Amino acid sequence: MTDSRKIKRALVSVYHKDGLDDILKKLHHEGVEFVSTGGTQSFIESLGLPCEAVETLTGYPSILGGRVKTLHPKILGGILARREEEEDRQQLSKYEIPSIDLVIVDLYPFEETVASGANTEAIIEKIDIGGISLIRGAAKNFRDVVIIASKAQYKPFMHLLDEKGAQTTLEDRRWFAKEAFAVSSAYDTAIFRYFDGDEHSAFRCALHEAKPLRYGENPHQKGVFVGKFDALFDQLHGKEISYNNLLDIDAAVSLIDEFDEPTFAILKHTNACGVASRPTLLQAWTDALAGDPVSAFGGILVTNEVIDCETAEEINKIFFEVIIAPDYMTDALDILKQKKNRIILLRKQKEQRTEQFRSLLNGVLIQDRDLSIQTEADLEPLTNGTPDEREKADLLFANKIVKHSKSNAITLVKDKQLCANGAGQTSRVDALKQAIEKAKHFGFDLQDAVMASDAFFPFPDCVEIADKAGITAVIQPGGSVNDHLSVEYCNTHEMKMVKTGVRHFKH
């Protein structure tokens, strides 16, 4: 038998009917007969098209409050029958089961119902049984049947009808079957995750949109982003976003969300190299850039304020990969668009997953995202001296940055400006020395600056080095058996130290 199939009969049972009318009219024009249920049957007939009721075909009414409508041999048999099998054809004839060549169905909106805050009973009723059976049955029998399993397939199916009429190839049917199994697996994943709650008894993740990237971390590696990037950002300008861009964008928005004041941050390889909070965006940009103008070259820029023309003029003077802002003034956008490859992103909403996944070895690590933000109430003084108001503000500012820096990390801050970040070092002492050297290289006076550490100090060597550099206050999580040694040094040398009790390792 040829792999070409003519659609003669379609079962249609959909929750969302938008965009379906043109498809139904086209199918009717091609001589396709319809079988349907309840509201979908009424919709088809409202278009002036004939439609047989499922109840007429099966001889059974919809029962159990609509829970059982299409679960019947005359429906599933017509879908699952193998046209090339003589025995199947004989049974279709014997039991008067009409072949069904096309199934158009979508599923009850389970995820939307959960997201709406509905009660348990309402959520359970939105677990589709008949629809998922129709999808799996039609997709399994793709050699003979076309399955349209969601509204997302309406457009490609209409394109197929315009091109080929009601005739399909095996390749066509296999593609729609693949899409259908993606729908059913994602649906089951959502249900499992609802029942599993916070237990994490198994790893299940289903994201619906995959975008091939130019390459992965390096040109010889393949890369794909699976997710709804467009739900979070509008790309207003620039080249295609890369794998490394996406890593930096995630780091940038995670960092900027820590700040309420007008703030600008510059990141390179996911670490902050410049951050400043100021009354005006222009000053925030100027002081953020001063933190490390060398590393800013080719960096990722992010702010929590609308970018104005004056600030855009200054930003335009350097080369950067990506800029992210909640909005741009028209003239500012025109300025930033002067370089064709710059990626300009408008952030539409602050939506971060509360879980993080990382693949490694032969499995996946799952953890809660680090959403812990320390406030003044979390600062527990460890020394005789306590930080003044300026120092407290700087300590909290520094703690936000060190939280988003690769471990081991030390952050130096003065007047809500990042003086230097020592990140990703194998020794906390090395991280501090790196930060001090960078700060001095770019002309910062560290006298009265503060220091943040992402983890405790096992020895007092770091506070001693910081003291000699002019640093007067320290914030750290505490928890070392040798905490008292660092505290004793601070007391002896009139330094101030507070602990938060929260470690911010970032491996």
Residues 153-166 have pLDDT tens digits of 999 999 999 999 99
Q: Catalytic one among 17, 25, 26, 140?
A: 140
Q: What is the per-residue pLDDT across 277-312, written as a single tens digit (0 to 9) for each?
A: 999 999 999 999 999 999 999 999 999 999 999 999
How far CA 379 is from CA of 266, 464, 467, in Å, comes to 27, 21, 20
Please state the rounded mean pLDDT for residues 191-220.
86
Q: What is the per-residue pLDDT across 436-488, written as a single tens digit (0 to 9) for each?
A: 999 999 999 999 999 999 999 999 999 999 999 999 999 999 999 999 999 99
End-to-end CA distance of the chain: 58
pLDDT at 377 over 90: yes
Whether residue 269 lies in the annotated active site: yes
What is the structure's pLDDT at 15?
80
Task: Report the side by side order of strands in the sheet with 271-277.
Answer: 233-237, 343-347, 320-325, 299-303, 263-268, 271-277
What gap in Å lies between CA 395 and CA 388, rounded to an integer? 10
What tokens does 244 get? Answer: 């490394």
Whether residue 317 lies in the annotated active site: no
Q: Which one, of 278, 275, 201, 213, lies nearest residue 241 by Cα? A: 213
User: Which position has the token pair 């003589």?
Assistant: 86
What is the structure's pLDDT at 39?
84
User: Which position has the token pair 């994201």?
Assistant: 207
Please state the rounded mean pLDDT for residues 109-117.
88
Which residues are CB-contacts of 129 (< 8 A; sequence separation ≥ 6)?
67, 71
Please state the rounded mean pLDDT for residues 232-243.
95
Which residues are CB-contacts of 328 (< 8 A; sequence separation ≥ 6)?
236, 306, 307, 312, 336, 344, 346
What is the structure's pLDDT at 333?
96
- Answer whether the bond into residue 482 is a cis peptide, omega within 30°: no
pLDDT at 353 over 80: no
Mean of the per-residue pLDDT values of the chain: 92
Q: Which long-range contacts (C-beta less than 8 Å, at least 24 apart) are formed by 427-433?
A: 428/453, 428/455, 428/457, 428/458, 428/462, 429/461, 429/462, 429/465, 432/462, 432/465, 432/466, 433/465
Q: Catalytic one among 25, 151, 211, 269?
A: 269
What is the structure's pLDDT at 379?
95
What angle, 0 to 180 degrees and rounded to 10, lies between the N-to-C axes of helices 461-469 and 483-492? 30
pLDDT at 2 over 70: no
User: What DSSP designation does 426 have?
Assistant: S
Q: How deeply is 461 buried, as exposed, middle or buried, from its count of CB atoms within 10 A (0-12, 13-18, 19+)?
A: middle
Beta bridge partners of 47: none
What tokens does 152 get? Answer: 């997302």
What gap in Å lies between CA 304 and CA 236, rounded to an integer? 17
What gap in Å lies between CA 452 and CA 275, rounded to an integer? 14
pLDDT at 395 over 70: yes
What gap in Å lies between CA 212 and CA 216, rounded to an integer? 10
Comparing 115 with 146, the larger pLDDT belongs to 146
Dihedral over alpha carbons 197, 200, 203, 208 (to 10 degrees): 30
What is the structure's pLDDT at 54?
83
Q: How deeply is 445 buried, as exposed, middle or buried, from its count of CB atoms within 10 A (0-12, 13-18, 19+)?
A: exposed
Most confident option among 86-95, 120-129, 227-236, 320-329: 320-329
Most confident option among 199-213, 296-310, 347-361: 296-310
Q: What is the per-residue pLDDT across 408-425, written as a single tens digit (0 to 9) for each?
A: 999 999 999 999 999 999
User: Which position has the token pair 């959960």?
Assistant: 114
What is the structure's pLDDT at 83?
87
SS3 breakdown of the chain: % helix, strand, coil, rounded to 5?
40, 20, 40
What is the structure's pLDDT at 241?
94
Question: Max CA-CA distance within the chain?
Answer: 97
What is the structure's pLDDT at 63?
77
User: What sign does the dihedral 238-242-246-249 (CA atoms) show?
Assistant: negative
Please state the rounded mean pLDDT for residues 107-131.
89
Q: What is the per-residue pLDDT across 36-95, written as a single tens digit (0 to 9) for each?
A: 888 888 999 999 999 988 888 877 787 787 777 777 888 888 899 998 889 988 988 888
What string of DSSP letters covers 369-392?
Answer: -------GGG-EE-SSS---HHHH
Least confident of 90-104, 236-250, 329-343, 390-404: 90-104
The SS3 assignment for 312 reads: helix
What is the structure's pLDDT at 355?
83
Written in H, E and C, the secondary structure of 161-223 is HHHHCCEECHHHHHHHHHHHHHHHHHHHHHHHHHHHCCCCCCCCCCCCCEEECCCCCCCCCCC
What gap in Å lies between CA 49 and CA 42, rounded to an integer? 10
